[in-house]
Each structure stands twice: as C-alpha cells, then as structure tokens.
Structure 1
C-alpha cells in the first residue's frame, strides 16, 4: 500500500469537488472507507471516509471527531450534507486532524483506492481520459488542448524555450516552466513548491523544441508517473493536430495573400473581387489604416502572421492581416471616420502589437495614413510598405515608423516618391478651407513670423492668431514644434509645386 497525501487527493481529477475544511495532518499510512463510524478500526495515522450523511447536528459531529481521533485517525472526510461548523473545525485543529467534505463521496472513494491500492489504476484512468479527448473531432490545436485539460482535470499546454504557445485550462506559471528540462529527448517529470509537471518532446518537423506539458498542484510520485504516461499517450495526437493546423494555415495564408495581390493589382474594384473579399471578412468600404511587419533578418512570414493573428482581437475596428511577400500586411477598417485622437489610440495599439511581436521576432513595422474606400485602402497599404522599409534602418525609433501628419522622416521619404506622397499631403490638408490653407502657407513661408505673415496676408495679427489656432485644431498638430512646421512646409511645397493636371482636349467646334 502506498502512502496517501492531502496533495495527492486534491490533485486527483475525481476529487475536484473536495473542500478542505481544516488542514492538520497531510500524510496517512492507512485508508478506510466505511458507511459510518461503526465500521472503523483503530489505525495509526489513518484516513477515513464516511459515506453516510449522519451525524445531523454540529454537537454530534464534535462527538464523532473525538471518537474517530481516539482510533488514531488524523484525516476525516464527510459527505457535503454533514453540518460542520466553526466549532467542529476548531476541535479538529486542536487534535491535529484534517477535515474534508465532498459532494461526490463515492467518486472520492474510488480516487482513494486508486491512490493507495491500484498502482496502475491512476495511469489507466488518465489514459482512458486521453482516449476520450483524442476521439473528439477538435477544430484546432487549442481546441484539442482544452478538451484534454477538461478530461484530465489538469492544465495542458504546448511550450518551447520562449514560453507558452497554446494552452488548455490554467497557464503554467514561471515556476513550473522553470522545472521543465527542455533538453530531454522524451519524458521529463518534475515537482517543486508550485506543483508538478510532466512533459514530452513533440515530434514536429516544422516546430522544433516544442513540448507537450500536463501540470497540476503538488502530487504523489505515483500520480506524477501516471501523468507522464498520459502525456506520452497524448503526444502523437497533438503532433498530428499541429501538422493539420499548419497545412490549413499555409492554405489559408496562400489564398488570402493571392486575394490581396489581386486587389492591389486590379485597377478597378469588380463585383467578383468585392465578393471574394467579403467572404474573408474584408470590406473595401469605410475608412482604413494599414500596417506592415517585415523581418529585419530572415523571418518566416507565417511565424509573423501567427504572432500578429494572436494580437489582432486587441486592435480597434475590423482587423485583417495576411502574408504579403516577405512580411505581413494588415489593416484596420472603420465604418465611420475616426477622430484624430481615436486614430492616435489605434496607432498606439499597433505599436503595442509591434512591441509584442518584436519581443520574439526581429521585425520592423510601418503604418500608413487613414484613407477611405478601396483606393484609400490600396494607398494606405502602399504607405505602410514604404514606412516598413524605412523602419528597417531606424533602430532609434525601435524599428517603428508611421507615415502621418507628425512624422518628418516619413514625409521626407515620401518626398522622393510623389505617387505616394502627394495624395498623402492632399489628405493631410483636407480639413482646411482655402483661406486657412493660404494662411498656413504664408505663415510657413515667412519662417513662422506672425508679423511678416499677417502683413503678407493683409490681416490683423489677432486675426492671424485666431486662424492659426483653428488650423492647429483642424490638423491636430502643435505648430510650436519645429519638426512639425518643417514637415508641414514640405507638404505645402509639394502640393504647390506639383505640375498642373493637363486639361482634356475638347471635342466639337
């Protein structure tokens, strides 16, 4: 007979409903399961489970605890109907006795038998639960892990050296993760203050260094060995599910990447193309802000896409992303035009996405401007690509560049690429009327001198000051910033110096 421990009881899946009312002794050499106390025998450091609901009053419980303690029993479990109060717990504490209560005492009895008598029964029980999980038609690896965790009554996770990749049930904490020996070629069993963990290497040709982990609280050696058997049996099904998911992932990425290419290369939006985009949840209508993540060294675009997809739900609006070339292109779509403050919050979330992905992969990120409609989405995607290329050389900006009304370096980049920049500059000044545009141009052309600008415009300085406050509010800028003034001046000059659009020849006489 094996020793029985309180940790072992609490870690058993069939004892999930057990409540610890008082904690005294935690290890027992003998276990008795009886209908009532009349069947108990004297036992040194023993544990007893009584299946009958009596006694029915707290004072009768006190008397029972004393009589059972006189037999040498230091652990006692009752059905949930037993009326145990504070006085009963206080008495058990004085006697050094552990009190438990279970809503399913017959299942607790089976768990006790497995723990002390059935050396292989615990492992067989867990294997049966693994088989139930494998028989379930899981949709993804995460779905499979959730079913394994639910059936085993323990946390289940896929991990590598960087941390948890996917999980079912509670996440393993840093203390448990530190116990795992990732160099083991097969099974690794370990216990520590934070609990116990069994892991096995997962054979995956595309995901080296991955381990399947089953973890729980402190448990006996018998239970930990049984957990090792369970994780070993589950591993082939998990490896197969990973492979299936990867095949599906590659197919989905290829289809969506091809669709994005068709959208960017097709000069006009056709009904057929719009329908294909809608089937993927992509809307060309509304307002769009694109972003682009690309590797600073070689990084598998699918690895970037996996990392991005895990963070997309945290972004505002309808978020989409797909592989495009050597990186990932994504965008956010809004039904209504966001305010400048809302847009900056969105950009902040994209920066958080960038930082999260960059913690694991060497990437650079670019963000395009806000634009509307199908043509605007295509333009924002192009801007995001340009910004990402610029970000590759910008370690001082944490490899993150946003083409917007604030970024001097982004405007300078676009200055050399007029097809991208001039529409961006025009969009920048869209909130301004003709008077405000001329006022801003005069102010910038006269080196931000209110005196000279007001004289050139023929208006009072107070009038100029009111106009400048209105311009700052409309553009969402602070004109006391020298970089902002220079960026705006570049944009003004780009539009002013643009060649005129040739008139179409008239027909007829």
Structure 2
C-alpha cells in the first residue's frame, strides 16, 4: 500500500515537495490522486485520496482551510498546494526553508493554515517549482504500477554502471547521486573505504547476506560484494535511508545489488593485478636469494623498478601465515601494520607466508637492533591469529650477498618460533636465539657459519675458552674431570666456565643451550677447521 511518505520519496517529488504541516499523518494510505484547480470547488473527496491543487492559492485564502476540513471529513490522505513566492521572502541559510512563519524553500503559506493542518493531523504538502501535473502523473504511475519505481531505479543503476570497471569511489559517488542518500563502502572490519554514513558499525560484517539494519528515524541497507574464492564478502556497500527516503527501502536493494556487482568487478580486476604483481615480486625475490655473485645490471634494474634497496645492512624477517589464508590480499595490510610500528620493510608473498627485510644505511648498533626487534614483536602481536601465525627475525647482514643470509636466519627462526608458544611464537636471532637455532641448523649449509658466529666472543680471550668449554661439555659438565683433562686446577675451570656464560649470555644449566654449544664446539674444533 502506497502512503504519503512513500510518494514523498519518489524522485520526481523528493526535489520539489516539502512537508508544510501535519507530519503526523504521513503514513496515511493513498489509493488515488486527484488534481483540482479551485480549492473551493465542491467536488466530492474520496477516502484515502490525495488532493493536489494545481493553481497557487493566495496567502490566507479561506478556501484552502475549507479544503483541509473537507478532506479530513472524507477520510482523505492529504493536500498538496503549489505556493507562490512572496517578494521579500529569503530562505534561511542551510535550512531549505524561508525565514517567515509557514514558509518553505522561499514559498509562503499562512500560519493559520499550517496550525489547522497540524491540529487536524492532515499532511499539508508544498510544491516548490515545476508543474503540479507532473507530480500527479508520477504519483498515478506509482499507484497503477507499484513496481515501476523499482524498475526505473534498477534501469538507472544499470545505465550508471553499464558493465564498466569503476573504482570504489566512483561506485559510491554514482550510487549516491542515484539514490539521493548517503552511501559508503565498508571493509570486512566495518571501516569505511569510500563514502561516509552515520553508523557504519551497525552493519554485521560477519553475516554474508544482504541486511536491513533499523536506525533511529530510518535504516541501513547493506549488500555484500562477494568473490568466488573464498565465497565471503571482502567489502560491503551500504545506503543510509532516513526520513522520507526510508519509504523506498523496498525498492533500493535491487539497485544496491547492481552497484555491488560493479564493486565485485573492480575486486576481480584488482585481484588479477595483485596476483600479477605478487608473481613478479616472488620471482625477483627468488633470484636475489639464489644470488651467488655480483648482481647483473638487469637484476639491479628489476630491483630498482620494484623500489627495493640492495645496499646497506639488511635484517630479514619471515612471517608464517595462519592455515588456509589467501596471502595476496593481505600483503598490503602487513605492510600497513609494520609502518604503523615505524618499520619500513619489503614484504613478499613466499611459500606459506611472507618473506621480507628492512634496510639500514649503516651497520646498526645492538641497541637499534633491539629496538627493531621490539617493533616487529609489537607488529606480530597485532597480526597474530588473524593473519600471521609465527615470526622470525634474522641478524644484520651487509650488501646484496648478505640478504640471503639474513633471510635464511629469519626463516629458520620462524620455523622454530612456530613451536614456541612461551615466546609468543616470535624469535629473533640474537646470541640466545643463535644457540636455539643451532639445533635446527645442524642439517643445513648455514650450520658451520652460525657455530662460528656463536662462539666468536670466546676467541682471542685468555684461557683458551673454546677448548675449555668443549672439554667441559665432553665431560658432561664435570669441573673435576675437565680440570684433569686440561691439566689445570678445578677453580680455574670454574672461573673460565663462568666467563663463558657471561660472554655468550647463556645458561649452561639449560639443556637446549648446552646441547647447541656442544655441537658448535664440535664443529669449530674438528681437525682442519
């Protein structure tokens, strides 16, 4: 059933007709629309009939008051009048209404008539500009064919988008012009990507079906933009209908679906571009990690085109993805979270996660490395569970040839971090991390360099600390037996072992660290090494 409020939402009416008085009766049903030239004509008014006066009445015309009473007595739906502009009427800024009593958009109606309409509870509408007969035609079309407004809106939506690929901003702007209401495009967290609405958080982004969300004085209509794999919305197109616009809530969803299809086309095209760029980045990363000589001019050109940096000191990172995650769409989000923590890094889709690195112009001090590790740990906490599962961080390595080394360390650290919930599934390759990683590296080409790096603080120290540590671990941590093997006093052995723990920052009472150091000592003390 059509109501006065529904007629006010017609495109032909919404720009010209205003409610002057009697707003309490806007939900009255309308079954017929009758044009009349003279308010005083004694025609019979039918129940649920809206009377449209086609000639502007004079201000304070008693005949208009009489018409209001006849319509109320007959059970009519309301009265619409064209209003003439008084010479001195000036519209109040930003209100769309004239400054004087009973004036609407610069068109005056007497205050007594307005008070009468309010008292009777009968909608009194004012037509500002245009031909009232055009309003009659639009209203009768809606009454004769209730679906015609929906069909016209859907056709207009198809013409607006016309199977073309539009950016999200274009989709929102065109749909907003089409509907005449606020429109926004939300991401899967309910945050606006384009446009603006009053209550974006009211949309239930975890329910993947079209939604109608009641609001105070209106409602939100939301339609998901679905991608086939995975079949869940990544974006939501939302229209905010308030006031008389809420009366079109039944006809807006098909137009919203047409616009959502335009968003889907953009998503698909954008996804193809993302995957193409991801393949190029992954291929370039593979070439850099396999680099065993000075990079060629062509490779340097590809690196420059990608905006990557080969000079300086690199710190690698490896991020393991949560199971079954589609990596490509999340690369930009990972970069955003890292930047929010103050880390500018290259991030590349690689295997079942992401490989990346950040670069320092000069060799970073231990304090700067610790600061970087703290920032990366903070970023990991934000990503953990939703995108990332575990993270590993390598040590600083210089120049192009050092990139593969720090990335290899970060990869091994991430593999070990995946089994360390007590460390927050995060591991940085520092001295302690090196001791842990040696257990993982015994089957890799990086084992011997890592062993030498771990024991490096003991070299050139008085007391032959590496040999003392090796003998101590061979003797199953027996100071007495170690003293006998080395031919020194047991107090000397105890002092040397204490210095070893302080220099390496390890606890030889910890079995993992003890085993890792034992393997390292065996590696660097083998004949020929």
Give the TM interval when normalised to the shorter protein: 0.5 to 0.7
- The farther-off stretch of 32-41 and 166-175 is 32-41
Distance 1:266 1:287 in 2: 16
Distance 2:414 2:285 in 1: 18
| Cα displacement string for residues 326-354 of structure 1 (whole angstroms, at most 9, x for unaligned residues) | 32212222334455444444334433443
TM-score w.r.t. structure 1 length?
Answer: 0.62
Does the 8 Å CA contact 1:411/1:421 hold for their aligned counterparts?
no
Q: Which SS does the other structure have where 2:355 is aligned?
A: strand
Distance 2:345 2:313 in 1: 12
Closer, same or farther: CA 310–197 of 1 in aligned 2, 3 Å:
farther
Aligned partner of 2:196 in structure 1 is: 170
Aligned partner of 2:228 in structure 1 is: 205
1:269-348 matches, cutoff 5 A: 269-295=295-321, 297-302=323-328, 305=331, 307-309=333-335, 311-314=337-340, 316-348=342-374
Distance 1:35 1:434 in 2: 103
Does the 8 Å CA contact 2:435/2:516 hold for their aligned counterparts?
no
1:377-416 matches, cutoff 5 A: 377-405=403-431, 407=433, 410-413=436-439, 416=442
Shift of 1:267: 0.7
Does the 8 Å CA contact 2:413/2:437 hold for their aligned counterparts?
no
Aligned partner of 1:225 in structure 2 is: 250
Closer, same or farther: CA 47–333 of 1 in aligned 2, 3 Å:
farther
Aligned partner of 1:250 in structure 2 is: 275
| Cα displacement string for residues 308-333 of structure 1 (whole angstroms, at most 9, x for unaligned residues) | 35535435454222222232212222
Distance 1:381 1:282 in 2: 15
Does the 8 Å CA contact 2:451/2:524 hold for their aligned counterparts?
no
1:262 maps onto 2:287 in alignment:
yes
1:71 maps onto 2:113 in alignment:
yes
Aligned partner of 2:240 in structure 1 is: 216
Aligned partner of 1:156 in structure 2 is: 184
Distance 1:441 1:115 in 2: 97
Shift of 1:498: 2.4
Q: Which SS does the other structure have where 2:311 is aligned?
A: coil
1:429-508 matches, cutoff 5 A: 494=520, 498=524
Shift of 1:276: 1.0
Does the 8 Å CA contact 2:175/2:259 hold for their aligned counterparts?
no
Does the 8 Å CA contact 1:367/1:388 hold for their aligned counterparts?
yes
Shift of 1:372: 2.3
Does the 8 Å CA contact 1:318/1:334 hold for their aligned counterparts?
no
Bigger-Rg structure (1/2): 2
Closer, same or farther: CA 278–75 of 1 in aligned 2, 3 Å:
farther
Shift of 1:228: 0.9
Shift of 1:147: 4.7
Aligned partner of 2:122 in structure 1 is: none
1:9-20 matches, cutoff 5 A: none
| Cα displacement string for residues 427-477 of structure 1 (whole angstroms, at most 9, x for unaligned residues) | 7899x8988x769979x9799xxxx89x979xxxxxx9xxx9xx9xxx9xx
Closer, same or farther: CA 218–488 of 1 in aligned 2, 3 Å:
farther
Distance 2:283 2:218 in 1: 48
Q: Which SS does the other structure have where 1:214 is aligned?
A: strand
Closer, same or farther: CA 416–257 of 1 in aligned 2, 3 Å:
same
Does the 8 Å CA contact 2:380/2:388 hold for their aligned counterparts?
no
Distance 1:46 1:106 in 2: 17
Q: Which SS does the other structure have where 2:400 is aligned?
A: helix
Aligned-residue RMSD, C-alpha: 5.8
Shift of 1:264: 1.0
Distance 1:34 1:405 in 2: 92
Closer, same or farther: CA 495–321 of 1 in aligned 2, 3 Å:
farther
Shift of 1:381: 0.8
Closer, same or farther: CA 233–334 of 1 in aligned 2, 3 Å:
same
Distance 1:342 1:52 in 2: 75
- The farther-off stretch of 278-287 and 369-378 is 369-378
Distance 2:410 2:349 in 1: 14
Aligned partner of 1:84 in structure 2 is: none
Shift of 1:293: 2.1
The aligned length equals: 431
Distance 2:58 2:387 in 1: 63
Closer, same or farther: CA 401–278 of 1 in aligned 2, 3 Å:
same
Question: Structure 1 stretches of 5 or more lacking a match?
Answer: 16-23, 77-104, 458-463, 504-509
Closer, same or farther: CA 317–215 of 1 in aligned 2, 3 Å:
same
Shift of 1:74: 11
Closer, same or farther: CA 137–244 of 1 in aligned 2, 3 Å:
closer
TM-score w.r.t. structure 2 length?
Answer: 0.60
Distance 2:310 2:396 in 1: 13
| Cα displacement string for residues 187-226 of structure 1 (whole angstroms, at most 9, x for unaligned residues) | 5434234963323454532130226432325454433234
